[in-house]
Structure 1
């Protein structure tokens, strides 16, 4: 099945959809360092089958999408720049020049894929953005109902709502669903919440739902404090759940009295980095690329790091450099250190063969903007399975 990837960044979503069985006809990205990362990995065939990737360093606003095909596209995927809606950004939303949702809608309108996957930050669900989020979904539902010249987006939303409530539309349209997914619930060693919007072209007649979580915090608590398997696995002595762990007596009693959970335990930072050597500041690891210690990590309010025996906090890119609080490991003895680029890549579930171009701050920016590969793959595999169940266009 063929696809295109928009706003590709360092390649998290693109790699996840590739591993789900899609073959990209093109990847579009504006940032030069991110394009260098993509080219480097494609030329080295860092993951089998990506040596054919065609990376377009281009302004998507002037890109003609018909260059990727006409009428035979299976999937359009991408994560429009999230800064306009990010909790850590300036919150300008639809008024922000970086708002690229209209370009994703244009890609769907011009290519008419059988399905699309759009992802973005949790901040898109804030009350102040709620109407605009509904506007995005309705545009994707009826991509051919475009905004008129000089029409305000709220007036366009009203027109789309009228069409939607009428319940019938003869043109091309999509059945659209959205959900907030926590990456940790799908085996990613990071509590990263992302909004996914998925649509299937209505004439495919396909029914689809988001994949069920495979991992849980309760299963991790069971593994630590009921069976003790977590500590045994790492060759450590058991820890007291009352030490640094916020557990209600009711919840602990329920875990003790219950059966082992069907989900797997959340993956922790310690789990993710267990087979890696400690990084050094004086030289990079010979075994792992991008694995070099950056000194200077410090703790202060709002900048405390991620406990090693929990999934990482959300890695963030920041506007000016790297906000190190989310990019530090916090050890039990109170010490902290920055994650190396390779360790951050592990937290984002990139394969060890994936190299990141640019200085440390730039590589961490790419990682902070990326979709976890593992989460992207879970969603994309589910979409691919549904498309393969019918075949054709």
Structure 2
């Protein structure tokens, strides 16, 4: 993975919308950003943020009703958001802008009020489908009116040390003369083989004395399917839809539900994973605590933006923002022209989504 030095003085600042359980927040913290505000509507996710970072300014709020007057003068370096995925996912019916949960317009509206130096938004790969071409173009057009050059890119979590494929559609927007300096993170070609489920979870599988831990790890020596968090409308503590469960079964995992404890001596294959293992598959550190019921914890984990990916993108933004003493966007004829990788287009190197 391409790395840059993390800026330390002065600290870069960030306002994060739809912060969830802190995947993006943690990655941006590691990249050198200090949060001015983290807005999240889910009470369990807010509790998780407060439990792990008591000093973070967490506000439970629908971002469509967010009052920015209290921190508008802070001039954030970055406005980041992990907007709800169901409007652009198969599981969520893919209604796009017709879905009431589509919050892209709210993020753009807040960008107009806050005037950050950069904007970062992540969502599911489905947003890059051809049928959403017009919608992505419209988002870039609105950002162009604010003086930003916007670009979409498809990143895979497995390229950044996460034992899960998890493709994500990432949008980065910067003023034109800053955007010219920005480079997307690239995997480190010198790194060892990608981290697999077996390698990542072998130690925890053996923690309670389970005799089959090594055998299981050998059979799970592959990248995990994309974890699904579900929504409050439907979904429980499981590892995803039928196709994903078939892949998990081939890895010795019963994906129909989530366990309350690690595998015990004498337990036979397939086994179930515990929430803490799901968090590890998302790239969270072992000391990151999730609050709420098991279903709530699994939902927070499954909906998260993997911290290592947020860190990788954040460091590339930090390298640009820390090196240029420019506040606020500028108007440019270049603004809004760059719209990158298409889900079913010709750019980039296509990969199978996986279950």
Q: How would you bin the TM-score normalised by the shorter chain?
A: 0.7 to 0.9
- Are the counterparts in 1 of residues 201 and 277 from structure 2 also a CA contact under 8 Å? yes
**Equivalent residues in 2 for 1:132-281, closer than 5 Å:** 132-143=135-146, 173-202=147-176, 204=178, 206-214=180-188, 262-278=190-206
Deviation at 1:277, TM superposition (A): 4.7
Deviation at 1:200, TM superposition (A): 1.0
1:73 match: secondary structure: coil
In structure 1, how many angstroms separate the alpha carbons of the residues matched to 2:202 and 2:252?
16
Deviation at 1:119, TM superposition (A): 0.5
1:24 match: secondary structure: strand
| Count of residue pairs the alignment pairs up | 286
Match of residue 59, structure 1, among 42, 57, 62: 62
Counterpart residue number, 1:41: 52
Counterpart residue number, 2:43: 32
Q: Does 1:76 align with 2:88?
A: no
Deviation at 1:357, TM superposition (A): 0.8
Measured against aligned partners, the alpha-carbon deviations of 1:263-311 in whole angstroms (never above 9, x if no partner) come to 431110122123325476xxxx9xxxxxxxxxxxxxxxxxxxxx61111
Higher relative contact order (CA 8 A, sep 6+): 2
Counterpart residue number, 2:276: 342
Counterpart residue number, 1:303: none
In structure 2, how many angstroms separate the alpha carbons of the residues matched to 1:207 and 1:14?
24
In structure 2, how many angstroms separate the alpha carbons of the residues matched to 1:95 and 1:83?
11
Measured against aligned partners, the alpha-carbon deviations of 1:164-213 in whole angstroms (never above 9, x if no partner) come to xxxxxxxxx01111111111112111000001100112364742121112
In structure 2, how many angstroms separate the alpha carbons of the residues matched to 1:105 and 1:131?
16
Change (3 A) 1:103 1:333: closer
Deviation at 1:53, TM superposition (A): 0.5
Deviation at 1:92, TM superposition (A): 1.3
Measured against aligned partners, the alpha-carbon deviations of 1:314-337 in whole angstroms (never above 9, x if no partner) come to 000123214435475744699332
In structure 1, how many angstroms separate the alpha carbons of the residues matched to 2:131 and 2:205?
45
- Are the counterparts in 1 of residues 154 and 168 from structure 2 also a CA contact under 8 Å? yes
- Are the counterparts in 1 of residues 252 and 270 from structure 2 also a CA contact under 8 Å? no
Deviation at 1:71, TM superposition (A): 6.3
Change (3 A) 1:96 1:355: same
In structure 2, how many angstroms separate the alpha carbons of the residues matched to 1:342 and 1:71?
36
Counterpart residue number, 1:168: none
2:106 match: secondary structure: helix
Unaligned runs of 5+ in 1: 44-51, 144-172, 216-261, 286-306
Match of residue 229, structure 2, among 317, 321, 333: 317
In structure 2, how many angstroms separate the alpha carbons of the residues matched to 1:64 and 1:135?
25
1:23 match: secondary structure: strand
Q: Does 1:380 align with 2:295?
A: no
Counterpart residue number, 2:260: none
Deviation at 1:56, TM superposition (A): 0.3
TM-score by length of 2: 0.75
In structure 1, how many angstroms separate the alpha carbons of the residues matched to 2:75 and 2:14?
9
- Are the counterparts in 1 of residues 237 and 294 from structure 2 also a CA contact under 8 Å? no
Change (3 A) 1:175 1:361: same
Measured against aligned partners, the alpha-carbon deviations of 1:55-113 in whole angstroms (never above 9, x if no partner) come to 10012111122322326210000111111111221211101111111111012111111
In structure 1, how many angstroms separate the alpha carbons of the residues matched to 2:249 and 2:80?
32
TM-score by length of 1: 0.68
Rg bigger for which structure?
A: 1
2:87 match: secondary structure: helix
In structure 2, how many angstroms separate the alpha carbons of the residues matched to 1:13 and 1:330?
31
In structure 2, how many angstroms separate the alpha carbons of the residues matched to 1:378 and 1:351?
16
Measured against aligned partners, the alpha-carbon deviations of 1:232-252 in whole angstroms (never above 9, x if no partner) come to xxxxxxxxxxxxxxxxxxxxx
In structure 2, how many angstroms separate the alpha carbons of the residues matched to 1:29 and 1:329?
34
Counterpart residue number, 1:358: 292
- Are the counterparts in 2 of residues 181 and 196 from structure 1 also a CA contact under 8 Å? yes
Measured against aligned partners, the alpha-carbon deviations of 1:32-53 in whole angstroms (never above 9, x if no partner) come to 111111111123xxxxxxxx20
Measured against aligned partners, the alpha-carbon deviations of 1:317-361 in whole angstroms (never above 9, x if no partner) come to 123214435475744699332221111111111111110111222
